[in-house]
Amino acid sequence: MAKMTKEEVRQTKDWMKTEEYKELNFQRKSIVINPERACQPLGAVLCSAGFEGTMPFIHGSHGCVAYYRNNLSRHFREPIAAVSTSLTEDGAVFGGQANGFEGFKNCLNLYKPKMFAISTTCMTEVIGDDLGAIVNNARAKGFLPEDVPAPYANTPSFVGSHIDGYDNMLAAIIDTLGVKSESVSDVINIIPGFDTTTGNINEIKRLLTIMKVPYLVIADYSNTLDSPLNGEYKLYNEGATTLEDTKNCVNNKATIALQKFSTKKTLALLADKFKQEAKAVKSPVGIQFTDEFLMKVSEITGKEIPKEIEDERGRAVDSMTDAQQYIHGKKFAIFGDPDILTGLTSYLLEMGGIPKYVLCSNGNEEFKNDVEALLKEYGCDEGEVYIDKDLWHLHSLVMTGPVDMLIGPSHGKFVAREAGVPHIRLGYPIFDRVNIHRYPFYAYSGVINLTTWIVNKFIEIADETSDDAHFELLR
């Protein structure tokens, strides 16, 4: 085959930026190109990292586990522990129970977990291994001591995404450990959801402490996945949710989830089985949703929102009004997980920005309705919401209807480069910037951070692209 000429290459490239190409691109049904979506067991591993002494135990090939560990390590720049049952071809034929038994035994011997958090992979789902039976048989045969809980969740990769894996694992853990008692405590549970920004969790804890609200973060990996470097490696870091607290969490006053799409099953479990008030708030991104979160906390606990927080809010609003001129009327393409996108849409609208494309590879109709309602509330008729679409769809959108900035995980960088627009990293995964996950984009501090990142980026571009006459000291 003859090599393409430069002209032919250019023509092809140009064609990919056309309306005609966009139409073709949106017609495809059987191939997904650059989706911002990972698989369920990854979420199960993340969730497990939030529990004391817990080893994620994945029933399947060790290749899967290598991928989850790599992926999470690259984002957090932290060690990620997880084991598999190392199933191979004979496991596919005879089932994986024998490997499960041996896996429990070896893992207990080497890593001494206080709990196994068991999830599955495609392989064990397809061959139909029964996790409940494996766990029960392992207990009966002495491979799994009675005092080591072993919650298990089915997390097939061909259903849902990483956010569902998180939810399924969390529900299994609470279902297994939770013991209902007569008394109800004053504590409120906070469930972060699939949120890989440890700074967000810390920020919420800080606010609740200021409000003097007794709280328990369930699946708290804000310390375990942001552990200090002090010369000692700990397989199980301090600061995760304890098993004792998890056992009792079902007797706490209420549960507030900070994401709704990654906690549906868990909240239903708490409400239906444990009769707890369990609700999700909108992820507290921007002023409005943060206000709502704090009011919800106040409503449940009876604690007032103190002046200290009101002042913080005032500073955040101050930072917005100081800088809103740089965002007002600017168009954004945002992508990533659904709850983060809903929050981010709200924040951008508060700043007068236009969330032109809100694209979610793992969002559903409910998500679409939520975001569309927000757009309507602000009278933003330019915003478009796309669910079950990927970043190659986003490429077509951005090439045919330009935006000023992309906000989302690292994978968006290829679209941003093609479009020649800046890309602020937010969400999961972030592989190509350091420390972003340590900075909250939640609550009032998050408003200041988002404003700082977005506005300064626009100002930097103004500086980099202006001629001498317009290269001004004042911005």
Partner 1 sequence: MAINIKESEEIVEDVLSIYPEKPRKNRQEHIGVNKKDACGSCVAKSNLKSLPGVMTPRGCAYAGSKGVVWGPVKDVINISHGPIGCGHYSWGTRRNLANGVPGVENFMPFQFTTDFRERDIVFGGDKKLEQAIHELKGLFPTTKGFVVESECPIGLIGDDIEAVAKKTSADLNTTVIPVRCEGFRGVSQSLGHHIANDSIRDYVVGSGKLDDSQKTKYDVAILGDYNIGGDVWASMKVITEMGLNVIAHWSGDGSIEEMRITHEVNYILLHCYRSMNYISNYYNEKYGIPWIEYNFFGPTKIKESIRKIAALFDEHIQEQSEKVIEKYEPKMQAVIDKYRPRLEGKKVMILVGGLRPRHIVGAYEDLGMQVVSAAYEFAHDDDYERTTKQLEDGAIIADDLNEHEFIELAHRLKPDLVASGIKEKYVFQKMGIPFRQMHSWDYSGPYHGYDGFEIFAKDMDLAINSPSWKFVKPSWKK
Catalytic sites, residue numbers: 122, 126
Among 45, 48, 50, 71, indicate the residue that binds partner 1 (CB under 8 A): 71
Residue 107 or 320 having the CB closest to partner 1: 107
Among 46, 49, 91, 134, indicate the residue that binds partner 1 (CB under 8 A): 91
Provide the minimum distance between the beta carbon of 275 and partner 1 in the complex, in angstroms, as a whole number.
32
Residue 196's Cβ-count burial label (10 Å; 0-12, 13-18, 19+) is: buried
The Cα 386–Cα 26 span in angstroms is 11
Binders in 428-457 for partner 1, by CB under 8 A: 431
Residue 41 or 199 having the CB closest to partner 1: 41
**Residue 106 binds to partner 1 (criterion: CB under 8 A):** yes
Residue 37 or 330 having the CB closest to partner 1: 37
| Contact of 243 with 220, CB cutoff 8 Å | no
The residue type at 137: N
Provide the minimum distance between the beta carbon of 83 and partner 1 in the complex, in angstroms, as a whole number.
5
Among 5, 233, 467, 469, indicate the residue that binds partner 1 (CB under 8 A): 233
Residue 84 or 451 having the CB closest to partner 1: 84
The residue type at 449: N
Among 28, 141, 212, 376, indicate the residue that binds partner 1 (CB under 8 A): 28
Provide the minimum distance between the beta carbon of 453 and partner 1 in the complex, in angstroms, as a whole number.
22
User: CA-based angle 443:47:269, to the nearest 5?
Assistant: 90
| Contact of 285 with 442, CB cutoff 8 Å | yes
Binders in 126-165 for partner 1, by CB under 8 A: 126-127, 156-159, 161
According to DSSP, the residues that pair with 189 across neighbouring strands are 216, 255
Residue 56 or 192 having the CB closest to partner 1: 56
Considering only CA atoms, which of 44, 70, 140 is closest in space to residue 100? 140
Fill in the per-residue mask, 357 to 396: x = in contact with partner 1 (CB under 8 A), - = not in contact: -----------------------------------x----
Residue 253's Cβ-count burial label (10 Å; 0-12, 13-18, 19+) is: middle
User: CA-based angle 455:457:462, to the nearest 5?
Assistant: 95
**Residue 118 binds to partner 1 (criterion: CB under 8 A):** no
Instruction: Look up residue 145 and give its two tokens.
Output: 């001591």
Interacting span for partner 1 (CB under 8 A) from 77-85, 174-182, 247-255, 284-292? 77-85
Q: How many residues bind partner 1 (CB under 8 A)?
A: 85
Fill in the per-residue mask, 158 to 197: x = in contact with partner 1 (CB under 8 A), - = not in contact: xx-x------------------------------------
List the 354-360 sheet strands across, edge first. Answer: 384-387, 354-360, 331-335, 405-408, 423-425
**Residue 335 binds to partner 1 (criterion: CB under 8 A):** no
The Cα 262–Cα 258 span in angstroms is 9
Q: CB under 8 Å to 63, separation ≥6 — which residues? A: none
